[in-house]
Chains A and B, each alone.
Chain A
Amino acid sequence: MEDPDNRDVREDLHALRPDAFYSRVHSFQHWFDSVQGYLDELEQGHRADIVPEELPENRRERLITVLCNYSVGETAALEASSGLVRIAPNRPVKIFLATQVVDEARHTEVFIQRLQELGVADPEAAIEARASAAVREFKRRLLELVDGADWDAAILAQNVILEAMELSVFEAHAAVADPVTVDVLSRVLKDERRHIGFGENELGRRLKRDAVLRQRLSRLKRELDHLVLQTVQDTLEALGLSRDERPDIGRNYLAAVERLGLQA
C-alpha cells in the first residue's frame, strides 16, 4: 500500500506530480513543518529575550494607530478565510484555508497583545476609535464577496490584494520599527508569503485561459485599488514617514497584482 506520491517528500517536494505537489503544499503537514522553527518558543508573538525600546510618546501613539489598522486587516482576513473554507472547491484547498485561518487568528492575537504591551487597556475600543475608514470599507467589501460565495473574487480580494497590501506595508514598517515590532512583523511576513503564493497559484492558471474571468476580476481590482492605496497612505502617515521617506508601496502592490495579468 505504499504511496509513491508521498515517499520522501521532505527530501524532494518538487519531484512530485503537479496534483500531488499541490496536495502536499496545501496540507496541514506542510504547514506544520513550515511553522516549526519560526513559531517555537515565542511569547506574545515575539522572542522573549528582546529588550523593548523605550518609545517616545508620539511614536508610541503612532504605532498604536498603525496596529489598529493591522488588526482590522487581520480580522478581515480571519473572517474571510474561515468563510471560504466551506465553499472551497476541493479538500486540499479547504485544508490550506484552515491553516490560513489559524495564521490570521494568530496575527490578530499578536497585534492585540502588542497593543496591550504598549499600554492600551481596551484594544477593541482603540481599534474602533482609530482604524482607518478605508481599511474598514475594504473589510466590508471583502466579506460581502465571501457571503456571496463568489470564490474567484473573494480569493482575489483576500489572497492577492489584501495579502499583497499587507506584505508591502509590513515589509516597509519592519524597516523602521522598534525591535519587538520588527520581530512580530518578521514572523507574520513568513505566513503572508505562503498565503499570497496560494492566491497566485489558485487564480493564475485559470486567469491565463479565461478572458471573461480576467475581465471580471480586473473590474473588481480597479474597484478595490483606491481603498488599498488609501489604506497604505493612511498607514504610512500614521507611521510618521514624510513623503520623500516613504517607499513606493503603492507601486509594489500594483506590481504584485499585475503579475496575474489583470488590467490596470
Chain B
Amino acid sequence: MDFLKNYSIQYWLESCPQGYLEDTEYGHPAGESEPEALLEDPVLRQQAIDTTVQLVVGERAALAASSGLINAAPDAASKCFLATQTLDEARHVEIFTRRLFDLGVKRDELESVLADRANKNLVKFAELLLEKVDKKDFVAAVVGQNIILEGLAFGVFEMIQAANETFNPKFAHTLSGTIADERRHVGFGENRIGALIREQPEKRPEVEQLQKEMSYYMLATFADRFRSRETSYEVDRMKEQEAAPAASAATPEDTAGTWQGVKIRNLEPREMEQLLADTILKDFKERLARVGVEYQTPNRP
C-alpha cells in the first residue's frame, strides 16, 4: 500500500496547484487567446467547438465516475486519491467549457450545444463506465476509468497537443496540464487495480468484456471524427498555417508538432485515426497485462 503515499492530497497540492498549474488561468498562461485564423474561419471554429464538446463530454463522465467511486473505494488512501482525481476532472470540465465560451458558444446555449454535438458513440462509451460506477463495482469501474478512459484521454490529448503546438499555443498549453493530470490517474489505476485483481481473479472476464466494448465505442468515435469532410478541410487549413513563414519562424525546433515520432501535420486524417487508435490500443494491452488482465481485440467500426 506504500505506493499510495505518492497519491496523497499533500503530494497532489505540491505537484499540481502549487506546481505545474501555478500562474495559469483556466489552464493556460494569462493573456493567451485562440488564434484569429481559427476564429475567423467558420468551419475551423465549428470543428474546434466539436472537438471541445467531446472533451467536455469525456471529462463530465470522468467527473461523475471518480466522484462516484469514492464511496466504493476500499481504503482511506484510495478515497483521498480519488478526491484529487475528482477535482482534476472538474477542472478539466471547467477549462474545456471555458474554451467553448472562448470559441463563441453562448452561456445559455451550452447544454444544448453539448447535447446536439456530443458523439453518440462517445456517450455509449461513457454509459458503459457509469453503469459499473452505479453498481459500485470498484474493480471494473477503476479499470474502465483509470486505464481505458484515462488511456483514451491521454492519447487524444497528446496528439491534439502536438497538432496545436504551432497553430494554437493557448490550447496546447491548456492540454499540457491535463496530460500531467492524466498521467497520475493512469498510474493509480495500474498500481491499485493490480493488487485487487490478484485478490479477486473472478472479476477478470467481466473486466475484459468491459475493455472490449469500451474500446469498440472509442474506435467508432474516432471513425466518426476522422472520416468527415470537415476534418479533411481542417487538416488542410492547419497545414497551410503551419507552412506560413511566420509560423515556421516561431518554432525552430524540429520536434515541434511531433507525436509518436511522426510529424502530425504530415499525416492525412485517416493516417491520424490509425496512429491514434493503434497507439492507444497498444497502450491498453501493455497496461492491462501489467494488472493481470488479458487484452481483448475489439471489433472495428
Contacts and interface: CB of A to CB of B under 8 A. Distances in A.
B68 A29 contact: no
Nearest to B114: A91
B21 A85 contact: no
- The main secondary structure of chain B at its interface with chain A is helix
Contacts of B94: 27-29, 95
Given A85-B63, A105-B83, A3 B101 contact: yes
B90 A32 contact: no
A89 B82 CA distance: 22
Given A39-B13, A86-B64, A28 B82 contact: no
Of A36, A95, A99, chain B has the most CB atoms within 10 Å of the CB of A95
Most chain B C-beta atoms within 10 Å of own C-beta, residue among A44, A105, A106? A105
B9 interface: yes
Interface string A1-32: 10101000000000000010000000111011
Nearest to A40: B18
A200 B175 CA distance: 35
B240 to A, nearest CB: 22
A29 B70 contact: no
A27 to B, nearest CB: 6
Interface residues of A, number: 40
Interface in B1-41: 8-10, 12-13, 17-18, 21, 25-26, 33-34, 39
B280 interface: no
Contacts, number: 113
Contacts of A27: 94
A178 interface: no
Q: What bracket does the count of chain B residues touching chain A fall in?
A: 35 or more
A231 interface: no
B291 interface: no
Contacts of B64: 85-86
A143 B76 contact: no
B67 A101 contact: yes
B72 to A, nearest CB: 10
A32 B83 contact: no
B215 to A, nearest CB: 25
Given A36-B18, A82-B70, 17 more contacts: A27-B94, A28-B90, A44-B10, A82-B82, A82-B86, A83-B67, A83-B68, A86-B67, A94-B90, A98-B90, A102-B84, A102-B87, A106-B9, A108-B80, A109-B10, A109-B80, A112-B76
22 contacts: A1-B104, A3-B102, A27-B94, A28-B87, A29-B25, A32-B21, A75-B76, A75-B79, A78-B70, A82-B70, A82-B86, A85-B86, A91-B97, A91-B110, A94-B90, A97-B67, A98-B67, A98-B89, A101-B83, A102-B84, A105-B9, A105-B83
Q: Which 3 residue pairs across A and B have the least CB separation, nearest first?
A: A105-B83, A98-B90, A85-B67
